[in-house]
Amino acid sequence: MFRRLEDSAPERIEIEIDGEPVLVPAGISLAAALFYLDAMPSRRTQLSASPRAAFCMMGACFECLLEVEGEGSQRACQLQVRPGLRAWRQLDPLEPGANS
Ligand code: FES
C-alpha cells in the first residue's frame, strides 16, 4: 500500500508498539510508522471488529485511532514519533481495558 520512495531519514528512533520495541525513521507520524512496520490493522471497530488502518493521513477520518501513552483513541496521523513513545493498537475494543 504505502512504501517509502527513498530513505531520506537515516536516523532511527526506538518506540514501543504493543509493548514491543521497534526502530522507525525519525520525523514521521505514528500512523506512517505503523505502515513502515507493516503493523496492520491498527484497530478494530467496536461492533463488528472490522479491521481498520489510517486512511486520510490528515486528521479527518479517525481511522487511525490508537492508544498512546495510556490515552485511548488518539489519531496516529497527527502524532510525530519521538524516542520512547509507547502506543498500542486498539485490536480488542470489546474488552474495556484490554489495551491498558
Ligand atoms: S488517518 Fe485519517 S484521521 Fe488519521
48-79 tens-digit pLDDT = 899 999 999 999 999 999 999 999 899 999 99
Which pLDDT belongs to residue 10? Answer: 74
Cα separation, 45 vs 89, in Å, equals: 12
Cα separation, 9 vs 27, in Å, equals: 8
Confidence band (pLDDT; 50, 70, 90) for 46? confident
Give residue 84's domain range. Answer: 13-89
75-86 average pLDDT score: 97
Instruction: Note whether residue 5 is domain-resident.
Output: no
Q: How far is the CA of 38 from the centre of ligand 1 (A)?
A: 17
Which pLDDT belongs to residue 47? Answer: 87
Count structural domains, the chain: 1
The pairing of beta strand 65-68 with beta strand 86-89: antiparallel
Instruction: Note whether residue 3 is domain-resident.
Output: no
* Omega before residue 41 within 30° of 0, cis: yes
Counting ligand 1 atoms within 8 A of each CB, the residue from 30, 42, 77 with the most, and so the one to mutate, is 77
Neighbours of 58 (CB within 10 A): 10
Say if ligand 1 is within 6 A of residue 30 CB: no
Q: Can you give the pTM of this predicted structure? A: 0.85
Counting ligand 1 atoms within 8 A of each CB, the residue from 42, 62, 73 with the most, and so the one to mutate, is 62
